Amino acid sequence: MDVRPTPASDAPYAADMPEVAAVGGIAIRDDRLLLVRRGRPPSAGCWSLPGGRVEAGESDAAALAREFREETGLEVEVGAFVGEVLRPGPDGVVYRIRDYRVAAGTGVVRPGDDAADVAWVPLRELPEYPLTPGLLDTLRAWCIVSDQENRDESRGDLR
């Protein structure tokens, strides 16, 4: 399996910090990315990919499907592995987050669990949102979004 690196996080972490397995989902529909606004630390108030901790005995796919149901109200089909990021968390842990493509299926979009809000955000508007640290750079590095999508078509410059 190819683990694609993430751009460096602004927050430092030590190699001996305990790791917590986590997953995130990249759902894109009609050039819009599904994001949740975090209701709790870390990064409370910031927008991020839906996802969370992998519980003991749970596969990544099962954890991601559960987290999507809890945070967004949607059932999803988990697709291809995209990449992995390390992010420092509270209490001296580091989250090892494995991100996957997902196809959103049935359900009514509504925030739940620790998500304060949920929205389908146009890809071109991502730079305008208060995103979790490193998210936009990671999505660009993984070719999920490009600088081209963030250009003002009428002027040809970056927004």
Looking at residue 14, its pLDDT comes to 65
Which pTM was predicted?
Answer: 0.83
The tens digit of pLDDT for each residue in 74-128 reads: 999 999 999 999 988 888 889 999 999 999 999 999 999 889 999 999 999 999 9
Cα distances from 145 to residues 29, 50, 86, 108, 113, in angstroms, run: 13, 17, 20, 26, 27
Q: 89 or 144: which carries more pLDDT confidence?
A: 144
Between CA 127 and CA 54 the distance in angstroms is 29
Q: Which residues contact 69 (CB under 8 A, 6 or more apart)?
A: 75, 107
Between CA 55 and CA 51 the distance in angstroms is 12
Q: Give me the DSSP letters along 76-95.
A: EEEEEEEEEEEEE-GGG-EE
**Token code pair at residue 114:** 């620790």
The tens digit of pLDDT for each residue in 33-88 reads: 999 999 988 889 999 999 999 999 999 999 999 999 999 999 999 999 999 999 88
**Structural domains of the chain, with CATH:** 19-152 (3.90.79.10)
Percent of the chain residues past pLDDT 90, beyond the cut: 69
**CB neighbourhood size of 143 (10 A):** 9
